[in-house]
Chains A and B, each alone.
Chain A
Amino acid sequence: MTALATHAMPPDRAVARQSLLYIFRERTVALLAALFVVLVMVSAYLGWSATSTVNSIYNDAVVYLTAQGQPIPPNPVHDISPLSLMRNMSIYVSLIGALAAIVIGYQLIAADRKSGVVPLIGARPLERGEYLRGKIAALLAANGALMSVAAVIATATFLILPQVSLSAAGWGKLLLFFVLAYGYMVMFGLLALGTAARTKSESVGLLVPVTAWLTVTFILPSLTGNIHPTAAINPISALAPPPDTTFFHWTGWLIGPFSVAESFKWLSADLLDYLPATAVTGSMVPPLPDFLLALILAAAFAVHSVGVMDFTRGDYDV
């Protein structure tokens, strides 16, 4: 009998490669990825446009004030951190970025289940762990590609804008922001990957992570950081302190740990230098541990879900 003990390509890498090949042909994934990239470019343009406008007005004012013999005030562009020009990026990451990550994570497993190839994979000489590693590697690669495009656009913006220049520390903070945003997207991707593996129904597999995303993005921030329902998508109003009432004090403290978008927004504001010095978090868990805990829980959920996945069946019930 034929025995094939060695692998030309490690199975996890074969799974990752195959998964990427498949999802990059998926129109929904391509559409959301394109939308995310366009919005990142819009974010960069808005930052450039706002800075240029202020700078242009300042230059006109300098000419006018000089002619009038008035003292020249400092350029307001220099009063704000150049990193805050990228504040819109945190909006797009928590909206379209997370949604794209959900679709990618979901498709990575759902593609196998809907195609009916799960039993064919399960009868191959690979461990469940190798299958999972392949899927997670594909998730990391796909989200990494998206985030890399965003990072290149942001970097180009800072290099092109003549009015702003980043210090070494500024570049470091920008890099950390992209790592944070990448982690946020991967967290939703892992959640979707887990539900795609665990649920019997195809629609439920997608509905659960989308509902979680809606809850985390729109509902919980209303109860934790701000009474405005769009708190999580507007970094400016989101940073306004919530009303100082007993209700918001306790909801903020209790629900805060579940409000991951709020933690992401807080950490983004901190890294992009637009977090007010007086801002305080009302949650019982500080933003960074909260964010990391959510990421770990999402990973654990994905690992467990693939671990209990039924490889005898290829398809969803509905």
Chain B
Amino acid sequence: MTQPAIETRGLSQRFGDFRAVEDLNLTVAEGEVFGFLGHNGAGKTTTIHMLTTLARPASGSARVAGHDIVTDPLGVRREIGYVPENVRLYDTLTTRENLTFFARLSGVEDASDRIAEVLDFLSIEELADRRVGTFSKGMRQRVGLAQAILHRPGILFLDEPSSGLDPMGMKMLRDLIGRLNREWGMTIFMNTHLLSEIAKSCTSIGVLNHGRLVFHDSIDVVMKRYGDEEALEELYLSVVPVNAKGEAA
């Protein structure tokens, strides 16, 4: 049996008295496309920050690609790619200059060949020598994805990847995620608000409510139980109660 791509045990994060993530126990198998669903402020981004070693957990532990996030952060970082919610790069530099920098930081030896390969994979060769500051949100998102996969990481973390994208951009991104999973064998950990994206892209789903994992299962099980993707909303509302103001209770 292969080791899980991601495994957390009692993972918690606090900011003062606020408990952002509480006792998170989660396992994501290698090769999965995991959708992490939750309301604003549920703790999804905080969880990604801990798993990508950007922030130390207050308590608990986690292993990413077999590496402990606290004791072996460099080991984790060698195995992951990360695309934050609002991808931002050096605006005054070109796509190629940005990617060259991130390739070097990731230890890619044949940076120019790898950049050409990634630009081709994402169909953005025409953006290579243009300054990033002139790009639309969709273009920026693809360059953001490019910087995250340059070193061919085993696990890709995406924080609200479809945020702000038009339907065409969302479809393109979904296709790319599928190809990265199928063709490059990447495990995908994706934060999202969008139930439709979960239904179309993910192989398993976790729901976070006020820092606590309230649901975790494979999408097949969910579909069998709830029937179709519209019913995901029913599932979400059943595990994340809503108060009179329409907020997650």
A123 pairs with B151, CB closer than 8 A: no
A115 pairs with B88, CB closer than 8 A: yes
B147 pairs with A120, CB closer than 8 A: yes
Q: Is A3 an interface residue (CB 8 A)?
A: yes
Nearest-neighbor residue (CB-CB) of A111 within chain B? B90
Interface centre among B49, B90, B107 (most CB of A within 10 A): B107
B93 pairs with A122, CB closer than 8 A: no
CB-CB under 8 A from A1, the residues of chain B are: 5, 30, 65, 79, 153-155
Total interface residues on A, CB under 8 Å, equals: 35
Beta-carbon contacts under 8 Å, A1-41 to B:
1-9, 11, 14-15, 17-18, 21-22, 25-26
A314 pairs with B78, CB closer than 8 A: no
A8 pairs with B108, CB closer than 8 A: yes
Minimum Cβ distance to chain B for residue A130 (Å): 9
Given the complex of chains A and B, what is the CA–CA distance between A115 and B109 in angstroms? 25
B92 pairs with A22, CB closer than 8 A: yes
CB-CB under 8 A from B152, the residues of chain A are: 2
Beta-carbon contacts under 8 Å, B91-112 to A:
91-93, 97, 101-102, 104-111
- Mask for A40-61, Cβ within 8 A of B = 1, else 0? 0000000000000000000000
B88 pairs with A117, CB closer than 8 A: yes
Please pick, from A2, A25, A315, the residue contacting B153 in the complex, using a CB distance under 8 A.
A2
Minimum Cβ distance to chain B for residue A89 (Å): 32
Chain A facing B: main interface SS: loop
Please pick, from B74, B86, B92, B111, the residue contacting A25 in the complex, using a CB distance under 8 A.
B92
- Mask for B146-181, Cβ within 8 A of A = 1, else 0? 010001111101000000000000000000000000
Q: Is B54 an interface residue (CB 8 A)?
A: yes
Please pick, from B93, B106, B155, the residue contacting A125 in the complex, using a CB distance under 8 A.
B106
A6 pairs with B54, CB closer than 8 A: no
Please pick, from B105, B109, B154, the residue contacting A2 in the complex, using a CB distance under 8 A.
B154
B78 pairs with A116, CB closer than 8 A: no
- Mask for A209-234, Cβ within 8 A of B = 1, else 0? 00000000000000000000000000
Interface centre among B5, B54, B86, B105 (most CB of A within 10 A): B105
Q: Is B77 an interface residue (CB 8 A)?
A: yes
Given contacts A4-B151, A14-B105, contact A115 B89 (CB under 8 A): yes
Given contacts A117-B90, A120-B84, contact A11 B79 (CB under 8 A): no
Please pick, from A26, A127, A314, the residue contacting B84 in the complex, using a CB distance under 8 A.
A314
Beta-carbon contacts under 8 Å, B40-83 to A:
49, 52-55, 65, 74, 77-82
Q: Is A183 an interface residue (CB 8 A)?
A: no
Given the complex of chains A and B, what is the CA–CA distance between A58 and B46 in angstroms? 77
B84 pairs with A124, CB closer than 8 A: no
Q: Is A312 an interface residue (CB 8 A)?
A: yes
Beta-carbon contacts under 8 Å, A109-133 to B:
111, 115-117, 119-127
Given the complex of chains A and B, what is the CA–CA distance between A13 and B213 in angstroms? 42
Q: Is A311 an interface residue (CB 8 A)?
A: yes
B84 pairs with A119, CB closer than 8 A: yes
Please pick, from A8, A22, A111, A125, the residue contacting B109 in the complex, using a CB distance under 8 A.
A8
Nearest-neighbor residue (CB-CB) of A6 within chain B? B107
A115 pairs with B105, CB closer than 8 A: no
Given contacts A1-B155, A4-B151, A5-B107, contact A18 B101 (CB under 8 A): yes
A14 pairs with B104, CB closer than 8 A: yes
Given the complex of chains A and B, what is the CA–CA distance between A126 and B157 in angstroms? 18
A314 pairs with B88, CB closer than 8 A: yes
Minimum Cβ distance to chain A for residue B9 (Å): 21
A119 pairs with B151, CB closer than 8 A: no
Minimum Cβ distance to chain B for residue A181 (Å): 30
Beta-carbon contacts under 8 Å, B102-125 to A:
102, 104-111
Given the complex of chains A and B, what is the CA–CA distance between A11 and B80 in angstroms? 17
Q: Which residues of B contact A (CB under 8 A)?
A: 5, 30, 49, 52-55, 65, 74, 77-82, 84, 86-93, 97, 101-102, 104-111, 147, 151-155, 157
Given A1-B154, A312-B49: 17 more A-B contacts, CB < 8 Å: A4-B106, A4-B108, A7-B104, A8-B110, A21-B93, A21-B97, A22-B90, A22-B92, A26-B92, A115-B89, A117-B90, A119-B84, A120-B84, A123-B53, A123-B157, A126-B77, A127-B74
Q: Which 4 A-B pairs have the closest CB atoms?
A: A116-B88, A1-B154, A14-B104, A8-B109
